Amino acid sequence: MNTDFYYSQNSLGIYEYCPKKFEYIYLKKLSGLKDSLEVQEKIEQGVKFHVLAERYFNGMDDYFYVNNQELEEWMKVLENNYLMDVECRSEYEIRQNNDDLKLLAKYDLILKDKDILKIIDFKTNEKVYKKEFIEKNIQTKVYMFLLGENIFKINPEIDLKNIVMEYFQLNFPEEKIVITYNKEKHEKVKKEIKNLINSIENSIKVGFEKRMGECKNCKFRSTCKK
Ligand code: SF4
């Protein structure tokens, strides 16, 4: 891989979905078919929410200029569930390049609640997520692992049990998903991420396989047919 490249939950997730798709995006730099207008609007709406949330946690609740019912509702839900005045970092990035792991993650919010560090991730999904699904998600693994690794380096005494990840679903505020962590999970995830990266590095040498199960919804279906 390019020496500037850091693996993220996004790129690892795409490799898990289909190795060929990873190759198209990250090696061949292809973009595939355009998203539908509806999908583009949803992505844009999510981006706008994250900008407003970042401003909120930096003490700016001046979103009077927002003229969009859904965004206003999400901000109300946010205000009702998270105090503005908390010890936190929003839109915070961690990168690491050691131990054969070149990884990065950008967190919506890391909040300190007494001795607990909470990773908060805001979701704008339209169907409710279940814990069993989200706990196995590569995002959960990368986010918790990277925070764990880096906190541990600063303070080797820290108990990894003090890291918690919370998925907050803006359309289902009562369905908060909380995932706990510990040293055993940390070691297991480390192995999984290393294996995934090794598998990618190996695919670069021997070729990327097509995982055909998900082609129907893939942006590269016409590229693959050629
Ligand atoms: S069309 Fe199918 S095989 Fe091709 S990249 Fe997409 S998911 Fe992979």
Rg (CA), the chain: 19
Calpha distance 42→68 (Å, rounded): 13
Q: Tell how far CA 177 is from the center of its chain.
A: 15
Distance 18 CA to ligand 1 centre (A): 6
- Per-residue pLDDT of the chain in tens (226 residues, 90 and over written 9): 777 899 999 999 999 999 999 999 999 999 988 889 999 999 999 999 999 999 999 998 877 788 899 999 999 999 999 999 898 999 999 999 987 799 999 999 999 888 899 999 999 999 999 999 999 999 999 999 999 999 877 677 778 999 999 999 999 999 999 999 999 999 999 999 999 999 999 999 999 999 887 798 899 999 998 7
Is 21's C-beta closer than 6 angstroms to any atom of ligand 1? yes
Could you give the angle at the alpha carbon of 8 between the alpha carbons of 136 and 112, nearest 5°? 75
Atom of ligand 1 nearest to the CA of 224: 4
Looking at residue 4, its pLDDT comes to 84
| List of residues 6+ apart from 74 with CB closer than 8 A | 49, 124, 170
Which pLDDT score, from 0 to 100, does residue 152 have?
Answer: 72
The pTM is what?
Answer: 0.93
pLDDT of residue 41: 94
What the block records as the tokens of 26 is 């990250």
| Two tokens, residue 13 | 């997730």
Token reading at 116: 């607990």
Per-residue model confidence (pLDDT) at position 217 = 86
**How many separate helices (H) and strands (E) can be counted in the chain?**
8, 5
Tell me what pLDDT residue 188 has: 97
What is the pLDDT, as a whole number, of residue 54? 93
Residue 220 beta carbon below 6 angstroms from any ligand 1 atom: yes
- Ligand 1 probe mutation, 203, 214, 222, 226, most atoms within 8 A of CB: 214
- The pLDDT value recorded for residue 9 is 97
CA 145 to chain centre: 12
Domains of the chain: 9-225 (3.90.320.10)
- pLDDT at position 67, please? 87
Residue 72 CA to its chain's centroid (Å)? 24
